[in-house]
Structure 1
Amino acid sequence: MGLENYEVLPVEAQDVQIIQVDAVERANVDSQVATAKQYPRSIKRCVDNSIAMATMDVDTAQSCGYALPRGGKPITGPSVHLAKIIVSNWGNMRTEAKVVQITDKQIISRGTCWDLEANVASAFEVRRSIVGKNGNKFSDDMITVTGNAANSIAYRNAVFAVVPKAVVEKVYKAAQKFITGDLSDEEKIIKRRKGAIDFLFDEYGIIEEEVIKLCGKQTINQIKANEIALLLGIVQSLKDGDTTVDELMKPIRESKESKKEAMKKAVEQND
C-alpha cells in the first residue's frame, strides 16, 4: 500500500480502537472461564494422559528432564517439554512466553500461565546475557537463539508455579524411570552408562574423567541408575540451550585438582 493511501487515525479514533480490542479480549477470557467452569478437568485423566505421552518413546521421555550446573554441581528437574505435555492435558489454561525487552547486555523474557478453572495465575521473568566472553554483543541469530532459550525457561517456571507439584512429580518420575530402562543387573548398567559417556564425548568433547566429576563420584563404577538419569538430563539441557559446555564444565575444568592433572599430563608428555 502506498503512502498516499495510508490513513492516519486521529488520537480519539485510536483510543476507541484500543477500547474495542480490550472489550473483545475480555469477552474471550469470560467465555474461556465459563467453558472451564462448565467442563472441569479430571485430574486422574490429566495425569494418566500426561504419563502416556511422556513415556511414548525414549526421546520424548528424555526431553522431559534437565540438569544444570549450580554451585559446582548439577541440579535436575522437569523441563519445558514436560511443561508443554502437562499443559496440553491439564486443559483450561492460557499460557504464553515472549521476549519483552532487549538491552545492550541482556534479553528479558516473560512467561505467564493462568489456570482459568482454578483462577490461579503466575508470571516469571528470565534474563539472559547477550554479551560474549570477548565483550562483544551477540549476532542477531545468537540473540534469537538466546531469546528462545529464555522463553523456554520463563514458560517452564510459570507453568510449574501453577500446576500442582504432586502432578508434575508423578509425570516426571515416570519419564525418568522410563529413560533409564531395565537396569536390574550390572551388565545392563555398564551398557547404558557407556552409551551416555560416549555420547557426551562424541558430541560435546566431555571426557570420561569429567563425566565422573559431573556425577559427583570418584570412579566410573559408582555411576548407577540415578547418575545415568542425571547425564541424560545434562544432554537435554545442552540440546535445549539451557546451558553450554563452557558453563557446565567451568567449575570442573578450573578447579585446582583439574589444573594439577593437566600440568602432570603435560610433564609426562614432555618426558
Structure 2
Amino acid sequence: MTNSPARYQPAFQPAGARTQVSQATAIEQSRAIAEVQAAVLVAQQNRRSKPIAVEEMRDSTAQKSVADRAFFSFPRGGETVSGPSIHLARELARCWGNIQYGVAELRRDDDKGESEMQAFAWDLETNARNAITFIVPHKRDTRQGTRQLTDMRDIYENNANAGARRVREAIFAVLPAWFVEEASERCHATLQDGGGIPLATRIANSIGHFDGIGVSRKQLESKIGRPSDEWTEQDLGELGITFNSIKNREITREEAFPPSRVTAADIESGRPTEVPAKDQPDERPAEDQPKDTERDGSQPASAEELKGLTAALTKAGIKNAEERKAFLSAREGRDITAVKDLTASEVASTIRFLETGEEPAGDQQ
C-alpha cells in the first residue's frame, strides 16, 4: 500500500457539455446580468435632459472647490503637460447622467511584478462604451531611477493612480466634446475670478500656500517670469493647478520647481548666485535666536548619525554606492564621495527629507 496521492485526472467531457459552476457563482452571474439589464432599462425610461445637464455643469464649474481640482500639470521633456483631471471627469459624468464608469484589477502577477487592469465608461442611453485593458508594472520612477515596488500599499497606490488616468480618458471618450470644452473653459474662468477675492490678497495667499510646502517667492517668480506684484489672474490660475498637482502627488515639488544649479562658468563669470537660506546669516536679535542646546551642526557626523542616514537611504531605495554619491552631491551642491563627508546638520537634514519629503525650515530655498 502506498501513501502517494493519486494524480488528478479530469473526467472527459463530450463536446457541448457545460462546465459545472458552484451555486454561489451562478447566483453572482445572474445578479450581475440582472443589474446591467436594470440599469439600461432605468436609463431608457429616464432619459437625460441636455438643458438640465448643461445647467448642472455650469453651476458646478462655477464653484471654486470644483475648479481647484479640475486640472493637472506636470513637466515632461522640458515642456509642461496639463489638462482636465479625473476629478473634473467624474463631476461631468455626474452632471451628464446615466453613465457608469470604473476600474478593476483583473490579475496580479507578483513574479513578473505587474498587474493587469481594465478601466471603462459606458453611456447607458446611447450604448457608447469605452474600455481599456492595460498592464501596470509594479515600478515607480524616481529622481534616482526606477524603483521596484514590493510593499502592498505602494502597489495599490501605483495601480490606483494608473487606473484613474485611464478612467479619465474613458469618461471623456463617451462625453460630448463640446460639453467637456465648455466645462474646462468655465473652470479656468472660475480660477481666474478667484471667488471675488481681491487680486493682491490672492497673490499673498498663493505665496503663503507654496511657502508651506517649501517653495519660496523667488522660485515662484522665476517660474512665472516676473515679480509677484505683476502677476495676473491667469498666472494665479496656473500656479493653483501646479499647487494642487503637488498636493495630489501627481508631481513632486522638485519636478515643478527644479533647483537652480551653480556651474563653474557662473562662478568664473562672477554672475550673482542665490545663496541658500541655510547659509544666510540670522538677522534676528540675539535674544530671539534659538539657543544651541546640541553640539555644533557643522561638526562631522557621529557613527550613530551616519548609521541612521544609511538606513534612511536604503529604505528610500538608494542602495548603490554610486547612486548615493550622486544623490548626496546633488543635494548638497558639492562633491560627496561617501556619507562620512557630511556634517551633522547635513545628515539630519537629509534624513528628514528622505523620511518626510520636507526640508527643515532653515534648508528651504
Q: TM-score range by the shorter chain?
A: 0.7 to 0.9
Taking structure 1 as reference, are residues 239 and 108 closer, same or farther at Cα in structure 2, changes over 3 Å only?
farther
Offset of residue 246 of structure 1: 3.5
Taking structure 1 as reference, are residues 182 and 139 closer, same or farther at Cα in structure 2, changes over 3 Å only?
closer
Corresponding letter in the other structure for 1:50? M
Offset of residue 96 of structure 1: 0.6
Taking structure 1 as reference, are residues 248 and 115 closer, same or farther at Cα in structure 2, changes over 3 Å only?
same
Residue 63 (structure 1) aligns with: 69
Residue 6 (structure 1) aligns with: none
Offset of residue 128 of structure 1: 6.7
- Secondary structure of residue in 2 paired with 1:67: strand
Q: Scaled by the length of structure 2, what TM-score is found?
A: 0.57
Q: CA RMSD in A?
A: 3.5
After superposition, the C-alpha distances for 1:201-257 in whole angstroms (9 at most, x for unaligned) are 212x12233323444x244455311221111111222222222223333xx33xxxx
The question of 1:228 aligning with 2:230 is answered: no
List runs of 5+ in structure 1 lacking aligned partners: 1-9
1:73-112 alignment runs, 5 A limit: 73-102=79-108, 109-112=117-120
Taking structure 1 as reference, are residues 192 and 138 closer, same or farther at Cα in structure 2, changes over 3 Å only?
farther
Q: Select the residue among 117, 135, 144 that pairs with 2:156.
A: 144
Q: Select the residue among 177, 180, 189 that pairs with 2:199.
A: 189
Residue 209 (structure 1) aligns with: 218
List runs of 5+ in structure 2 lacking aligned partners: 1-10, 12-17, 268-272, 281-365
Q: Select the residue among 231, 238, 243 that pairs with 2:246.
A: 238
Task: Give the conservation status (yes or no) of the 8 Å contact 1:108–1:150.
Answer: no
Offset of residue 180 of structure 1: 2.8
- Could you tell me the percent identity over the aligned residues? 19
- Secondary structure of residue in 2 paired with 1:97: strand
Taking structure 1 as reference, are residues 99 and 68 closer, same or farther at Cα in structure 2, changes over 3 Å only?
farther
Q: Select the residue among 31, 37, 43 that pairs with 1:30.
A: 37
Offset of residue 13 of structure 1: 2.6
Q: Distance in 2 between matches of 1:151 and 1:48?
A: 30
What is the number of equivalent residue pairs in this alignment? 249
After superposition, the C-alpha distances for 1:165-224 in whole angstroms (9 at most, x for unaligned) are 21122223223322332699xx93333223212211212x12233323444x24445531
Corresponding letter in the other structure for 2:99? M
The question of 1:180 aligning with 2:192 is answered: yes
Task: Give the conservation status (yes or no) of the 8 Å contact 2:138–2:150.
Answer: no
Q: Distance in 1 between matches of 2:195 and 2:104?
A: 41
Offset of residue 157 of structure 1: 1.5
Q: Scaled by the length of structure 1, what TM-score is found?
A: 0.75
Larger Rg: 2
Offset of residue 44 of structure 1: 1.8
Offset of residue 148 of structure 1: 2.7
Task: Give the conservation status (yes or no) of the 8 Å contact 1:62–1:179.
Answer: yes
Corresponding letter in the other structure for 2:56? N
Offset of residue 117 of structure 1: 1.0
Q: Distance in 1 between matches of 2:113 and 2:206?
A: 35
Taking structure 1 as reference, are residues 107 and 17 closer, same or farther at Cα in structure 2, changes over 3 Å only?
closer
Taking structure 1 as reference, are residues 225 and 266 closer, same or farther at Cα in structure 2, changes over 3 Å only?
closer
